[in-house]
Structure 1
């Protein structure tokens, strides 16, 4: 079979003229095995996924149901309380920001009429003022008009400390003014090189003032719309069973012509990543499955059936471990892991250094994640201009042993090292997920070789990533010695991503554990560099400052990066979806369609 014939067959599959199974049979007839034929389609699907989604339907509706599977079930729908990606994905179906991020890292207007620029007068020369022109004719799901008043209110809501919003860091140091019904100004105190944070992407979703106006501040958790949203998005709310299922119906008055294609949307939560992959790639029970933390070899086998395809896109996401330098076992003023305490042994830099040497990152990548991640020592890896060239990783049991010997930690009769009666015995927590449990096992085995004992704890993902302030097992509580998870870089600029490393974002009881700094660790030099980066207009100098923040935490071995993650999802073969590594999966769900 020549290249032209093969290309023609692939185009026929893309256009729906022939099925994937027919394609595989035709290649089998000329001696190309089914696995190879499936892989050819998979490679082509990845290439298609990298291109911008071209919306083809000529009318809204008619697409039937769209069924999305999140193996971590959503528990709330107010995007400003959503500390977990699963809740952010769910909220984005109903609420929209002024702009979102496409797969190439481009800012794309959603509720804005255009992206601000110097050319259109949206950006001031001094770097302090951004003027957003709002799209006209947009209505909330209850028919009320969307106006600048809603944008100003969203700022007031998120910036109010009593609201305890997860997004508060994006709104506290700005002022927002209404110019007219369809124009607002965002005013920064200092020149701000990265201005596309407030009202953009994950943190930027606009709330209707007429539904939340009476629930700002201390009453924020009492708003009925927290669980029954009224937004501007492509789907209207129908029903929600937290931890289980969310349903919506097409917004017949949506502000984008011919969108959305699907008549209803269902977001089902629960299960695990493997069963989610199987429900799309093998059975076709669901159209789309998110965040497939599944061994790559398992995914490749599932793809051979030809019912679904895997999409892997570049992102700034990172799988990492936090070593807790506070005491998770002592309660102070109603909270554990308080900054008023000090961890008995992990506050020792030598212990943290030794543990970092006991992580076999190359094996974790090779044998577990495959396409899903690349071993790294840097918290920030994308875009490349923000990645540290200084940070390196090493797996060295002998060196770890020597560090602990020199630091005075001796093995007891049980084989566990101790010093001054304090044992190197830790609880190591993560979510229930096969790759993570295998990673835990690899690290535990290496730690045993040097006399460090790890008790492995696995928490149901819907609990671990919950925003429930009453739950002691959420990742933001950090009520253990060490924990592991992936954190999402929400835009192709790491400034907001790195506010996880500043002192004013420390998660605690006062902010309902929604502060971005889960580690509780802080360093004045990191705070200083971060603040300087926020107003440095020279791109190279700014990048150097952000790299310094990253290096301080990684070199302190409080943050132990493991893998630079790609975002892996699965869809049925005929679903055209807009998968971005810089925004949540549903960022442009209005444009999804079935070919």
Structure 2
């Protein structure tokens, strides 16, 4: 019982602040800009944050995490625990009692069968569901009656708050998606672009990679919310123009993910129209080193495809090469130039919560170019006449890609310079963020396809327990053509010993042991140098001074409490 209480932490603090409005829609129009435009409103078909965030206004999980990382009931009245009987004593099931009167936006009843269907939808072997790790260890989801959802686990689940918890694991309507199981999931355009939800807003029109128009859900469970009658959710552009539209021109009320140099943001904020807000949770800007061969000559069936380890990258599977690339980087300079108060140096892909953060890799905090050169010398990489190192007739040459973003291009330029000092040839490429993070299985430019040697972006996880996140690097989660390039193991890391640690963590209850396992997994990935962490990023956004109710949150969707936003009069 003691373990269960510790795992829940401060989850008993569940009440929201009193609403500052009393009538739905009384505050008119809300304008939001996400300069990375969503390509779908179905987060199960994309691992991109922009899809998860935009859809969170429409479809909801049973439980969200608030700005403190505490669990908050959304479609239930009480968090199940062992103490209140909601979690079985043997830890093999969790039972959710749905709130009375919750309706889908089309007026139909929200029932337990919708949760059962969502589980079947995401775990279908041909679905390519981007969020399937949230159902790890789930044996069945059952609906003994319309108001009861029972999640059953194959083995005792010490932390059962994964399926239907957090913005990445919402519930979709069975009636709308019933014909969209398996390989047909991406073909259900109407449903994917306009999901029926239980959230405070409904989709009026969705233009992929452009704009979403929404209106207040007339069937939302709180008759006084949301305060805004409509939303224009604009996508595209860049971080600078998004920040300017809130902080200087006042055209928009909220701008997301302002990855800009600190002096640029400070100058904009001086105009006095808005406020920059920052929250740290688990986001890390990192380099992924492709463990498979991305050579275009291999063709689409083999290019960047794992092939059970038979298609290894020519040199990035050698940890000494990755270690040298890491040692050459001055992470503090990347923080100072690109992030300011919204960044910290990190040597881990799992930087938080603090109890889970390893110290075993802290030597990365100090740049050591001479040491990196010696490492490559010792590994047999010899500088050629043009200064580029070669080994066995192979040049140490990489294509390094990321999304189009001023801070990222500055980082690329610096890293290219540091690598050139080692004798590494680097070609830089940047791709429009809406395409790079779009998840379109037909596009050659998505981060999932990874048609490059190295790519850079930020990722994180919702909630405070890293079990599902660390499960992302199992061999089975590698994107492939068969999975329609969905899967979270982007760099194609595969180690059976790592998979065993994932399984062990799913069976471990004691917090100290869970923390130790998480650190072991983090260290295994770090010391494979298939990921090189750069910056522990705080989520950084901006809102107009006239916008109230915003609780900046990096544990869940930033729009997690948009039903409570209002216009300050």
**Residue in 2 aligned with 1:539?**
511
**What is the Cα deviation at residue 79 of structure 1?**
2.1
Q: Structure 1 residues 308 and 54, CA, compared in 2 at 3 Å: closer, same or farther?
A: farther
Q: Distance in 1 between matches of 2:158 and 2:242?
A: 40
**Residue in 1 aligned with 2:125?**
161
Q: Is 1:219 matched up with 2:184? A: yes
**Residue in 2 aligned with 1:238?**
204
- Matched residue SS, 2:53: helix
**Residue in 2 aligned with 1:582?**
555
Q: 1:443-462 counterparts in 2 under 5 A?
A: 443-462=415-434
Q: Is 1:523 matched up with 2:490? A: no
Q: Distance in 2 between matches of 1:140 and 1:450?
A: 58
| Contact preservation (8 Å) 1:335, 1:508 | no
Deviation by residue 1:107-142 (Cα, 9 ceiling, x = unmatched): 111112221122321111221110101011111111
Q: Is 1:61 matched up with 2:25? A: yes
Q: Distance in 2 between matches of 1:395 and 1:105?
A: 33
Q: Distance in 2 between matches of 1:485 and 1:169?
A: 20
**Residue in 1 aligned with 2:390?**
418
- Matched residue SS, 1:316: strand
**Residue in 2 aligned with 1:363?**
333
| Contact preservation (8 Å) 1:261, 1:591 | yes
| Contact preservation (8 Å) 2:172, 2:195 | no
Q: 1:217-296 counterparts in 2 under 5 A?
A: 217-223=182-188, 224-296=190-262
Q: Distance in 1 between matches of 2:472 and 2:94?
A: 25
Q: Is 1:467 matched up with 2:439? A: yes
Q: Is 1:189 matched up with 2:154? A: yes
- Matched residue SS, 1:201: coil
**What is the Cα deviation at residue 422 of structure 1?**
0.3
| Contact preservation (8 Å) 2:210, 2:236 | yes
Q: Is 1:382 matched up with 2:346? A: no
Q: Is 1:78 matched up with 2:33? A: no
Q: Is 1:126 matched up with 2:93? A: no
**What is the Cα deviation at residue 52 of structure 1?**
6.8
Q: Is 1:404 matched up with 2:370? A: no
Q: Rg bigger for which structure?
A: 1
From 313, 325, 331, the counterpart of 1:343: 313
**What is the Cα deviation at residue 458 of structure 1?**
0.6
Q: Structure 1 residues 58 and 302, CA, compared in 2 at 3 Å: closer, same or farther?
A: same
Deviation by residue 1:47-79 (Cα, 9 ceiling, x = unmatched): xxxx97552212222111111000001111112
Q: Structure 1 residues 361 and 434, CA, compared in 2 at 3 Å: closer, same or farther?
A: same
| Contact preservation (8 Å) 1:327, 1:336 | yes
**What is the Cα deviation at residue 524 of structure 1?**
2.0
**Residue in 1 aligned with 2:287?**
321
From 163, 173, 182, the counterpart of 2:137: 173
Deviation by residue 1:281-308 (Cα, 9 ceiling, x = unmatched): 1111000000110111111111111100
Q: Distance in 1 between matches of 2:51 and 2:350?
A: 24
TM normalised by structure 1 equals: 0.90
Q: Distance in 2 between matches of 1:270 and 1:104?
A: 30
**What is the Cα deviation at residue 221 of structure 1?**
2.0
**What is the Cα deviation at residue 332 of structure 1?**
6.1
Q: Is 1:432 matched up with 2:404? A: yes
| Contact preservation (8 Å) 1:101, 1:583 | yes
- Matched residue SS, 1:529: helix
| Contact preservation (8 Å) 1:159, 1:172 | no
Deviation by residue 1:230-285 (Cα, 9 ceiling, x = unmatched): 11111121011111110111112210241100000111001000110000011110
- Matched residue SS, 2:332: helix
Q: Structure 1 residues 550 and 246, CA, compared in 2 at 3 Å: closer, same or farther?
A: same
Q: Structure 1 residues 307 and 508, CA, compared in 2 at 3 Å: closer, same or farther?
A: same
**Residue in 2 aligned with 1:391?**
361
Q: 1:43-58 counterparts in 2 under 5 A?
A: 54-58=18-22
- Matched residue SS, 1:400: helix
**What is the Cα deviation at residue 336 of structure 1?**
1.2
Q: Distance in 1 between matches of 2:368 and 2:513?
A: 35
Deviation by residue 1:184-217 (Cα, 9 ceiling, x = unmatched): 1111111112211101112321111111112212
**What is the Cα deviation at residue 454 of structure 1?**
0.6
**Residue in 2 aligned with 1:109?**
73
Deviates more, 1:222-231 or 1:271-280: 222-231
**Residue in 2 aligned with 1:20?**
none
Q: Distance in 2 between matches of 1:151 and 1:348?
A: 44
Q: Distance in 2 between matches of 1:335 and 1:52?
A: 51
Q: Structure 1 residues 407 and 277, CA, compared in 2 at 3 Å: closer, same or farther?
A: same
| Contact preservation (8 Å) 2:137, 2:155 | no
From 111, 125, 131, the counterpart of 1:147: 111
Deviation by residue 1:522-550 (Cα, 9 ceiling, x = unmatched): 12221111110111011101110111000
**Residue in 1 aligned with 2:469?**
497
RMSD value, Cα: 1.4
Q: Distance in 2 between matches of 1:530 and 1:291?
A: 31
| Contact preservation (8 Å) 2:259, 2:338 | no
**Gapped regions of structure 1 (runs ≥ 5):** 1-50
Deviation by residue 1:464-521 (Cα, 9 ceiling, x = unmatched): 1011011111111111010100002222111122123211111111111111100101
TM normalised by structure 2 equals: 0.94
| Contact preservation (8 Å) 1:578, 1:591 | no
